[in-house]
Chain A
Amino acid sequence: MTDLGRHPGPPPQPPKPPSGSAGVPFTRWVHLELRKSVDTLAGFWLLVVIAVLLIMIEGFFLLVGLTSDDAGLSFTIFTQPMAYVLQPLVATLTIMLVTSEWGQRTAMVTFALEPRRTRVLLAKLVAAFTLTLALILILFVVATVCSALLEAVSGNGFEWDLGPGDVVGLVLFEAIAVLIGFGLATSILNTPGAIGAFPVIAYAIPSGLGLVGLFWEDFGTVGRFLNLQSSTNPVLTWSVDSGQDWGRLVVVLLVWAAVPLVLGQVRVQRAEVK
């Protein structure tokens, strides 16, 4: 690096007059966030692993379907259970989009280029939804291929039972996971912390509430309002009917999504980016 010959280069152009250039359009930030989600090995492989995992599990379902003589197999067995596989994965993906900026300290550069931090966060959220939709699309394509194979081979009364509600329900179900992951990521701002917090909310707390509720009925009734899985399941199956269903859904969304999202907003706005 001490070779003087390395140093000549074109000088920087004369500075422009201080005219105002147009602000950066929001879509450009979304595009950048999508690019940033795949331009590192970690980000790229996370997406590949999720996709491969989906395909492998669907393949397994297909084998089971092919080898069993049960009638009444249907398209939704390829989609609904998979929603639970996707749930922690899309949450992780969302968390990584946010917290990697803090872990790798790129937030300094990002916020120097876009000081309106809310725009950066929104772009990340839109990018997370986009990636999630892409994964859901892969899921439906693979599910369709598997269903067609199953119907062709076994033929005994395969049911294409997919209604619009099933699609919308699954998308909303994953969107909730994205929102929760986003809330955790912005309020914790640390990759292992946020990734670790998600299973606590999604698995440990629902199981704990259920267990205590087995022995203490009153607690169980109240506890259901904090149970993410049992309260969001009606969204997935597109069967939110009773007032109770709605009430539980609203409470769960408030506690596990809205509160962390607001906390996270405040935290990111105030954070000294180091």
Chain B
Amino acid sequence: MISVEGLTRTYGSFVAVDDVTFACRPGRVTGFLGPNGAGKTTTMRVLVGLTPPSRGRATIGGLEYRDIQNPGRHVGVLLDAGAQHGGRTGREILTLGALAMGLPTSRVEEMLRLVSLTPDEAARRLRHYSLGMKQRLGIAHALLGDPQVLILDEPANGLDPAGIRWMRGLLKGYADRGGTVLLSSHLLHEVEQIADEMILIGHGRIVARGDKKSLLESNRGARTATTTVVSLDNTRLAEILRERGLAVTPGPAALTVAAEAVDVGRAAAEHQVVLTDLRSVESGLEDLFLELTSATQRDGRPPRGPGQPAHGRPPQGYPPPPGPPPGYGPQQPGAPR
């Protein structure tokens, strides 16, 4: 239903979206995931014709957005809930939308009820709305025309926990009835729960895609196993493990070892060190996400040949470049969960 082919958008020499290709199918929720400035919003803006692409094409149901007749009836769009006149009431904003799409005004009341805005709240001007109320109104506006396709940029932004759960149910139900949903977020655990399929984008490029399981599996082989271990004598255990050529990072309570749990346990048993805790660190989607997106960071443009250092050599006399912040580096061992 949504198809993006070879989409590139540059601003001067900066490439905000770099040759992005993906499709969203009816009946599925597609999560568009990436860190700040990854190019999610830009891609969505190109989809709805607000930003012209530099190269490539984006279509909805085979049509470019500008060729869709009365697009509000086919594509529900929420890019920025704050992009409404602050002096209009919530009800007036929805009424304008309904009039434009040629809908009866009863639809306005229906949508207000759907997003749980009370008549009293609907009569308030938008500038007095809270973040979550604006978001609810934006969702109501997107659903107004009963569209087959939803394009939502960070729809959960500002919603309270109950609101997020409600929205999750809403979008799931919507997709189950055959709708196509594309939603973006930089919050992984949020998308993880709604999306049937995820597209990970970092620095304008798609770095991975698939459902949660396949994403984790596809990367399992490439990742080194990590184990955390606590023993009665951590110092000695660290020595033993290092002797075997394993990388050990001592933590305040536990050692983090780049090895399978079984190897750590065997080493401890051979030297009769008493283990009190041994667990293999299940690298979650979050680590994968950080790893993949920070990888694009290191591959930063202009492209370098293989074998070249990731950082240019600093000028003489400068301190060495700081490493990535803890938790953001690709090889950072995760904490025990």
User: Do residues B179 and A40 form an inter-chain contact, with CB atoms below 8 A?
Assistant: no
User: Do residues B147 and A109 form an inter-chain contact, with CB atoms below 8 A?
Assistant: no
- Contact for A104 among B49, B66, B86, B96, CB less than 8 A: B86
User: Do residues B82 and A41 form an inter-chain contact, with CB atoms below 8 A?
Assistant: no
A152 at the interface (CB under 8 A from B): no
What are the residues of chain A within 8 A of B77 when measuring CB–CB?
A: 112
Chain A residue with the shortest CB-CB distance to B100: A113
User: Do residues A15 and B114 form an inter-chain contact, with CB atoms below 8 A?
Assistant: no
- Contact for A106 among B83, B115, B147, CB less than 8 A: B83
User: Do residues A3 and B162 form an inter-chain contact, with CB atoms below 8 A?
Assistant: yes
Question: What 0/1 readout, one digit per residue, does chain A (249-274) give for beta carbons within 8 Å of chain B?
Answer: 00000000000000000000010110
A108 at the interface (CB under 8 A from B): yes
How many angstroms between the C-alpha atoms of A270 and B51 in the bound complex? 9
- Give the Cβ gap from A41 to chain B, nearest Cβ, in Å: 6
- Contact for A15 among B132, B133, B166, B179, CB less than 8 A: B179
> Nearest 7 pairs between A and B by C-beta?
A40-B87, A115-B66, A7-B166, A105-B83, A15-B148, A9-B114, A6-B116
User: Do residues A115 and B162 form an inter-chain contact, with CB atoms below 8 A?
Assistant: no
A108-155, CB < 8 A from B: 108-109, 111-116
User: Do residues A109 and B97 form an inter-chain contact, with CB atoms below 8 A?
Assistant: yes
User: Do residues A21 and B160 form an inter-chain contact, with CB atoms below 8 A?
Assistant: no
User: Do residues B99 and A28 form an inter-chain contact, with CB atoms below 8 A?
Assistant: yes
What are the residues of chain A within 8 A of B45 when measuring CB–CB?
A: 272
Q: Known: A18-B61, A104-B86. Contact between A114 and B100, CB under 8 A?
A: yes
How many angstroms between the C-alpha atoms of A21 and B69 in the bound complex? 6
B30-75, CB < 8 A from A: 45, 48-52, 61, 65-66, 68-74
- A30-38, A173-181, A200-208: which lies at the interface: A30-38
- Give the Cβ gap from A120 to chain B, nearest Cβ, in Å: 10
Q: Known: A6-B162, A11-B173. Contact between A116 and B66, CB under 8 A?
A: yes
Chain B residue with the shortest CB-CB distance to A106: B85
How many angstroms between the C-alpha atoms of A41 and B127 in the bound complex? 13
Interface size class of A (residues with CB under 8 A): 35 or more
Pull 26 A–B residue pairs with CB atoms less than 8 Å apart, ordered by A.
A2-B162, A10-B110, A11-B174, A12-B114, A12-B143, A12-B146, A12-B177, A18-B74, A18-B148, A21-B73, A24-B100, A28-B100, A29-B100, A35-B96, A35-B99, A39-B96, A104-B85, A105-B84, A108-B50, A108-B79, A113-B71, A113-B100, A114-B71, A115-B49, A115-B68, A116-B66
How many angstroms between the C-alpha atoms of A2 and B177 in the bound complex? 27
A1-56, CB < 8 A from B: 1-4, 6-7, 9-18, 20-24, 28-29, 31-32, 35-36, 39-42
User: Do residues A272 and B143 form an inter-chain contact, with CB atoms below 8 A?
Assistant: no
- Give the Cβ gap from B218 to chain A, nearest Cβ, in Å: 32
How many angstroms between the C-alpha atoms of A265 and B115 in the bound complex? 38
- Give the Cβ gap from B56 to chain A, nearest Cβ, in Å: 16
- Give the Cβ gap from A111 to chain B, nearest Cβ, in Å: 6
What are the residues of chain B within 8 A of A111 when measuring CB–CB?
A: 49-50
Residue ranges of A at the interface with B (Cβ–Cβ < 8 Å): 1-4, 6-7, 9-18, 20-24, 28-29, 31-32, 35-36, 39-42, 100, 104-106, 108-109, 111-116, 270, 272-273
Chain A residue with the shortest CB-CB distance to B97: A113
What are the residues of chain A within 8 A of B170 when measuring CB–CB?
A: 11-12
How many angstroms between the C-alpha atoms of A98 and B51 in the bound complex? 19
What are the residues of chain A within 8 A of B303 when measuring CB–CB?
A: none
B134 at the interface (CB under 8 A from A): no
B28 at the interface (CB under 8 A from A): no
Chain B residue with the shortest CB-CB distance to A17: B148
What are the residues of chain A within 8 A of B100 when measuring CB–CB?
A: 24, 28-29, 32, 113-114
User: Do residues A41 and B87 form an inter-chain contact, with CB atoms below 8 A?
Assistant: yes
- Give the Cβ gap from B121 to chain A, nearest Cβ, in Å: 10
B303-328, CB < 8 A from A: none
User: Do residues A13 and B146 form an inter-chain contact, with CB atoms below 8 A?
Assistant: yes
- Contact for B102 among A3, A17, A24, CB less than 8 A: A24
What are the residues of chain B within 8 A of A36 when measuring CB–CB?
A: 96
What are the residues of chain A within 8 A of B177 when measuring CB–CB?
A: 12, 14-15
What are the residues of chain B within 8 A of A15 when measuring CB–CB?
A: 146-148, 174, 177-179
How many angstroms between the C-alpha atoms of A23 and B68 in the bound complex? 8
- Give the Cβ gap from B7 to chain A, nearest Cβ, in Å: 15
Chain A residue with the shortest CB-CB distance to B61: A18
B113 at the interface (CB under 8 A from A): yes
What are the residues of chain B within 8 A of A1 when measuring CB–CB?
A: 130, 132-133, 160, 162-163
How many angstroms between the C-alpha atoms of A42 and B70 in the bound complex? 29
Chain A residue with the shortest CB-CB distance to B118: A6
- Contact for A40 among B51, B85, B146, CB less than 8 A: B85
Chain B residue with the shortest CB-CB distance to A42: B87
User: Do residues A9 and B116 form an inter-chain contact, with CB atoms below 8 A?
Assistant: yes
- Give the Cβ gap from A102 to chain B, nearest Cβ, in Å: 11
